[in-house]
Amino acid sequence: MEFQYRNPEIEKMPRRELEALQLAKLKTAVDQALRTSFYKERLGKAGIKSGGDIKSLEDLRKIPYTTKHDLREGFPYGFLSIPRDEVVRLHASSGTTGVPTTIYLSADDVKRWSYFVARCIYGTGCTRADVFQNMITYGLFTGGLGFHQGGEEVGMMVIPSGPGNTTRQFRLMQDFGTTVVHATPSFLLHVQSKMQEEGVSRDSVKLRKAFAGAEPYSEDTRRRIEALLTIDVYNSYGLSEMNGPGVAFECQAKTGLHLWEDGYIGEIINPDTLEPVKDGETGELVLSCLCREATPILRYRTRDLSGFYTEPCECGRTHKRLRRFTGRTDDMLIINGVNVFPSQIEEVVMAMPEVGNNYLIVLEKEGALDRLIVKIEVGSGIFADDARLMNAIKEKIRKVLQASITVNPRIELHEGGVLPVSEGKAKRVQDNRPKGL
């Protein structure tokens, strides 16, 4: 396969040089952090008075972790390190509760961020000849503007369609010959269902690639989207605290997400002991931002669970690859004492050919016990009025799921289009259990 690079000297840089570059950038980031009220105190207490106190990459471990809680405590300007009038952009986290976490960018920060997103896009084989329909939320959420800027930096024609209104999305695709789209994986599945429902033929659109991210999804979900839409799907990871998208992305080899190590330092830790895990093991990803001056954030506990591949990628890039994310430390469900990650349920459900494009996990209390209900839309070729077939499918899913998660679920089957669809991140879990019990 011919791999495409935006900046081969950096992307294929020998690791020794890459690490030297990281160290130099880390020193600058520490100096920058010391200009914020938060880190002045936090790093001061750890005995770090300047970037010069960081002598090697191992010294990174002298820096205390930063958490979401810290970012909230620092609201609004505790993490700002440049004069307010040099800030050109604000983004905020998608958190639904409490104080938002805000990120400020200087003009150079915006340029650097665009450069990283462009590197991701280019690495999937896109060029300026592509027409890019950005079907993700714009606004304070970083997905819209992040990919918009990155797409323009590549030189593609960007259609800022935002999410929703699938009829209009299809019109845009047909009128302008869209070749690439960006959306959450759940929205892409919805787009495919709607395409079928509205009778939009595959031949009437020129789609060939999609960037899918902002939420966890399984390898089977990727394969399903690729097969149903006959496109290539690339996994895209990022978070607002680290600018947004453009942190880690799959290349054309599609085996893991390259973390751009000239922009970020990644560590995998055990979330209980806070010690680094062994090479290749799964744990919580901790990230330090090396590419933003206005809001330096060091050793941020992302809560996201992943691990590094240890073997090199066939594309020749030297930047480490993260495995597909399996969820977050804080989205684990405890069902009658058993720990279950929503991603385990998705893995089983989306691998079944009888299952359609949407599902919902519901938790109820039945007496003293928890009850797991998985509501599943059936595939388009299956008719819900065939009771025997329905029962057979239900039983099949129940058995496989129980074997995988060791909790006995109740399966409810629904026709396509019945379960709620979100334009942004999918809300896969409805926990109706009374709180505080």
Nearest CA-CA partner of 184 in 158, 210, 161, 202: 210
CB of 263 to ligand DLL, least distance (A): 14
CB of 179 to ligand DLL, least distance (A): 19
Kindly tell me which of 299 and 394 has the beta carbon lying closer to ligand DLL.
Answer: 299
Kindly tell me which of 119 and 328 has the beta carbon lying closer to ligand DLL.
Answer: 328
Three-state helix/strand/coil letters over 123-173: CCCCCCCCEEEECCCCCCCHHHHHHHHHHHHHCCEEECCCCCCHHHHHHHH
Kindly tell me which of 113 and 170 has the beta carbon lying closer to ligand DLL.
Answer: 113
Kindly tell me which of 51 and 213 has the beta carbon lying closer to ligand DLL.
Answer: 213
CB of 236 to ligand DLL, least distance (A): 5
Q: Greatest CA separation found in the chain?
A: 72
Kindly tell me which of 39 and 300 has the beta carbon lying closer to ligand DLL.
Answer: 300
Q: Structure tokens of 107? A: 């003009």
* CA geometry: angle 16, 20, 22, nearest 5 deg: 115
Integer Cα distance of 163 and 169 in angstroms: 8
CB of 159 to ligand DLL, least distance (A): 17
CB of 136 to ligand DLL, least distance (A): 6
- Is residue 295 a contact partner of residue 105, using CB atoms and an 8 Å limit? yes
Kindly tell me which of 261 and 284 has the beta carbon lying closer to ligand DLL.
Answer: 284
CB of 317 to ligand DLL, least distance (A): 18
- Is residue 234 a contact partner of residue 210, using CB atoms and an 8 Å limit? yes
Integer Cα distance of 185 and 222 in angstroms: 8
- Look-up: residue for tokens 């302008």? 176
* CA geometry: angle 109, 23, 274, nearest 5 deg: 95
Kindly tell me which of 42 and 148 has the beta carbon lying closer to ligand DLL.
Answer: 148
CB of 93 to ligand DLL, least distance (A): 5
Query: Would you tell me which residues interact with ligand DLL (CB under 6 A)?
Result: 93-94, 141-143, 213-216, 235-240, 244-245, 302, 304, 325, 328
